[in-house]
Amino acid sequence: MGVRRSTSRANASERPQIFETQLLTPISCSDRSHRICRLSNGILVILVSDPRESYASCALSVATGSHNDPESVAGLAHLCEHTIVSGGSKRFPDPDVYHNVISRSGGSHNAFTTGEQTTFFFELPAMSIADQLVFDQSLEVFACSFRAPLFRNNVIDKEIFSIESEHTANLASTNKVLYQVTRHLACPSHPFSRFCTGNATTLTETSAFRTRGMRARLVNYFKSNYTPDNMALALRGPQSLNTLAKLATTHFGDFPTTFSQDGLLMNDSRIAGIGTSILCENSRKIKRRWLEKYSVASPFSDGPLNSIFVQLPKAPVLRLIFPVNIVSSNFSEKDIRLYSIFWRELLGDEGEGSFGDYLKRSGYVTSIFSSISHFCTGSDGLILHLDLTNMGWVNADKIVSVFFHTFLSLILTDTESLAIYLSDLVTSDLLSFLYQDLENSPMEMCSILSSRLLSDTEFLNPILLLKGSPLPDFLDKTWQSDSFQDVQESRAWWIKEAQKFQRFIEDYVNHLNSKLILLGDLSKCPLANLAQFSMETDLYYQFEYCKARVDITRTENKMCSSQFDFFIRKENPFIPSAGRDLNLIKHALVLSAARSMAAPLSLLLQSDMIQDTPRLVGKNSNYEFWLKEEFDLYFKSRTIVTFELISTCLESLPMNTMHLEVLAQLLFDSLSAVLYPSEALGYTYEISASSRGDVRLSFTISGFPEGVYIIIALFIEEIVKLADQNDIKPSIFRRARVLVRKKYEDAAAADSTTLASLGLLVVLEKCMWSLEERFEALEELDIRSFQSFCSSLIKGSKYLNLFIQGDVTFSDKINSLLNSRLTGHLGSSIPNGILLEPETAKMKEGTNAFIKQNGHIDDPNNSIVYFLQTGDRDDKYAFFMTTFTDFLMSLTLIPELRTRRQIGYVLLGGIRILSNTIGIHITSMSDASPHTLENKIDEYLAYLEEDLLAVLKKEEFQSRFVEPFQKLVETGQLGKMSKTSGPANLMSRIEANVRSGNLRQLGRSMKSHKKLKNQITYRRYNFDVEEEQIDTSLISSLTLASYLEFFRTRISEQSPRRCKLSIMVCSTMDPHDITNKNLFMQIDHFLRHKGLPIPSSELSKIVSKADGNSSTIIKELLQYFGAKGKSLKLCSTVMVEAFKIICSSAKAHRVKALDNNSKNAPLIPTLELSNANYFRNVSNSLT
């Protein structure tokens, strides 16, 4: 469908008001120009122009969310988010037009809803003028969805199903469960306490509001909340600021104004000085509206219950929450935000002498992190989260006691050390911001900026909008101060700041203001036994819990004085000498900001981003050394180094893989506390054992060149020490082994989609060991075998891969250090051994197999990875055709499978690259059975063949598919289409065994480094493309006939040559129990809504007794309420509605059951594999 420009757009003469504000800018972003403005209708806008950017992106945030849900319709805001852009608009009624206009251009889109905001965002390639016209058209479609959405009834029904699938997926997420648990501790009258996501139960209409009623609620919700004064917009792309401003005005400037202008909209198009006041006033307006809505200022009160205990078969968790009521605080909001950040960094610190160091050395935790949670306007929470070991679980009371009585006492008494720590923290924060990496996703950055415009501008000086967090007063206002060590005046200032922070800790981080969450096997936790248990069941997540009052001070009697020496680190040794001069850092930030302000005058083009590929600077039979010197702004004084040690004398065996895992863990345990201070400065490091089963250990370190060299030297010395050591302490070895086991226990507890995706690799990659093989090897591993392995790895023959990118000042020193202390690769060109690369087991033609495995015990979802092998990885024709199929699926998969066939919330599909073969995968998670999912996928492939391709004309095939595909290939955007298909090479995305905590979100430069590193690791050397080089000469010969031949040979179910393997992960939960649970939730929610509550225990008995019989349930309910003296007339009326709900639910489950038997027998008989090693064992006969 073409998109024509509307003639009824905002008048271009209604120029937006521009706020003249200089934004502090990282060096990596100093070639971007920024502008904050406001449209004539009140929409706040931030524009980001970057001539180097290859994508154009947009985000729209609205100051409304689940806290505006009616009490009777949990999830209405979430449903509105789903239906606005997917339901079509008055001008573009086709519900698929938004998805199609973006996906056809290789773009992606997303949205999310929080308690107080809803944000929508998308991005598109913008390499050419034609691309930018498509962005203009996409903005037109996007904006029309907010101008006049249709909210079609059929779309509402489908999106309710999608939300139900999303909720079902959330059931297996510990973080989602914990957030729901936190709601149970909140005041029942506060909207934060309510279930917010919604599901089929809360959104399925009763007769009181059938489909028409739900649509009316959505329309009313939209009209009440989606107003311009509630909106903020972010636009980013290679276009000029003026062009972006015109796009904003044209597409969003005519949204109807429904608010009082209060004299703030002025005639001058540029506003200096007053712009900050307007931004702050807008933020205050939104804040006032939320505070007026809430009946209580804070979601958490000082009520009698301060703890909640959750019985779940998951790894144990202890979480402490310290609510911060901003409205009634003695501190300013800015100080609260700043001191909350100080608290987060101090409590999350895992350096020597810290609380995290104590917990790890005691063997109590596998991980610790602290965070700040925004519960609602006027109320935040300081969160301390501990993932406990079994030892930590039984010592939870001691952990809490040490925290309150020992560690906090240190913070409140050692003021001078705290002042030095805070001074270093601010220095590190500024340096980290100044040298931060480029973000991966432009649209996600846009969503962050649009969200900040709505929420943070009152306490956050607009010059810090890109940074997103406040600075101490002397930096924010006067810019006249130094670090703690510089002058007496500075030391006095920092002492005073530390004292204010100590008062903040005294006010908020104390046992009277704490909320405690324990999740795990409660029978084994002494701290949980302090409470009297009376278990309840959460209606939505189905976990059992009890709320209680626990006097934290009772744990004081248990000895809490450990032998551990707590101290506050006085100086960060990784801060470079020049970095200790705060005035120098501030000057660099000002220069970077000034460069950004002048960026619109520069002539920087996208061609300036073209970089050389890595060059081979050293190679013999024992090593290869690659170098890539960078001149991009991010790499100014930054280096990324990867070195790999590959044994050529040790076999690929499960035991050796587990030895590598334990070695990586031991190295991390030995050095993590020493290296932790480097993380605050943006240094990162990770250690990876090979994901392909060969004996390969990889290290990646990034940061300032001198510091990177020091970190590499520390790792080398620790490796050499382990190889020479014959007396590794059993306790240290045992802890490393326990943590490795914990990692695989967590992997076994992953969601069913993850298990199925990894299952495909286990079945087809010859050395990708199964979880069972790894657990078995780990059980057999002991200190003696480990020492022998380390000696063979370090002292035996090996091959070195070395790759240095960025500032290459220390490259020769690093190469020399590796040679002299570890590898000796420069001394001889005689091969030390044979370097063997792992391979894929290739399926023979005509394979139609599946393998089943069980999911985690508490995961109600089923998943499938449906994989079609299409050829050899080095077969250019097969690779080209498979890549084109990936593109075709990106356009059709979501509309056909998720929207029309409602296959499930999690749905991915596209190319999958293995070591030696390639193919197409479709991955789905749902409550339907895996065989039902497989049938739906077969239907989708049949649709592609029979209803799409077979009826197309040759010219239509070229214009609809080949030409857009060719454009993506020529502009280099094809490999970036990962949102629908997931990563093409899944093995290259497997996370490192151990890594620094700040690597959770990879920046663009690190992502690029890993891509190049993988090309070197796998000997592919395709540095110019995302994954593999496509033979572009084949595009000219791509016709409908040639593609149909490929499809009917490699993909069609009717082909005798097709190679198909399905990995099915099945829920261990009884389908009958799941049905009864869903029925229980529906009836319970309905009766509560009708004012007829019934105890959960009584309703559970009725549902179980009825065994799905609708009449029996109604009869039992009537008897129950009659015995309670309820009106027979009322009960009868309500029960008629309840009967319809129950029958509808039963019908839905019968349909699911029938789906399994609705498909004809396949052309090739299906083979169920008995074990994951099937193709490895018979690979010779299958190839």
Instruction: Kindly list the catalytic residues.
Output: 81
Pairing type for strands 615-620 and 623-629 reads antiparallel
- Rounded to 5°, angle at Cα 1106 from 1100 and 1107: 90
Question: In DSSP terms, which residues pair with 55 in a beta bridge?
Answer: 125
End-to-end, the C-alpha distance of the chain in Å comes to 46
Pairing type for strands 639-647 and 615-620 reads unpaired
Tokens of 351: 């350096």
Find the helix or strand (DSSP H, E) in which 1045 lies: helix 1040-1050
Tokens of 658: 């587990």
CB-CB contact of 326 with 332 (8 Å): no
Sheet with 55-62, edge to edge strand ranges? 108-113, 118-125, 55-62, 231-237, 44-49, 33-38, 17-20, 270-272
Neighbours of 223 (CB within 10 A): 10
Q: Which H, E and C letters describe 322-360, residue by residue?
A: EEEECCCCCCCHHHHHHHHHHHHHHHHCCCCCCHHHHHH
Residues 6+ apart with CB under 8 A from 648: 796, 797, 798, 799, 831, 832, 833, 834, 835
Q: How many CA atoms lie within 13 A of 938 on its CB side?
A: 22
CA dist 135 and 105 (Å) reads 9
- Between the alpha carbon of residue 1164 and those of residues 846, 872, 935, 1160, 1168, the distances in Å are 7, 22, 15, 12, 13
- Between the alpha carbon of residue 445 and those of residues 440, 498, 574, 626, 685, the distances in Å are 9, 33, 29, 32, 24
CB-CB contact of 351 with 322 (8 Å): no
Residue count of the chain, please give it.
Answer: 1183
Tokens of 64: 């409304």
Sign of CA dihedral 1088, 1091, 1097, 1103: negative
Residues 6+ apart with CB under 8 A from 839: 766, 915, 916
CA dist 181 and 185 (Å) reads 7
Reduced to 3 states (helix: H, G, I; strand: E, B; else coil), residue 626 is strand
What is the residue-wise DSSP string for 144-160? HHHHSB---HHHHHHHH
CA dist 117 and 80 (Å) reads 12
Runs of H (alpha helix) within 509-600 = 582-598
Q: Exposure pattern of 251-288 as b/e (b: 16+ CB <10 Å)?
A: bbbbbebeeeeeebeeeeeebeeebbebbbebbebbbe
Residues 6+ apart with CB under 8 A from 436: 26, 28, 682, 1003
DSSP 8-state assignment for residue 823: I
Radius of gyration over every alpha carbon of the chain, rounded to an integer in angstroms: 30
Q: If we measure between CA atoms, which residue out of 616, 621, 1035 comes closest to residue 831?
A: 621
Residue type, 642: T
Runs of H (alpha helix) within 694-843 = 705-724, 730-748, 752-764, 771-780, 783-795, 811-818
Residues 6+ apart with CB under 8 A from 257: 40, 41, 42, 228, 229
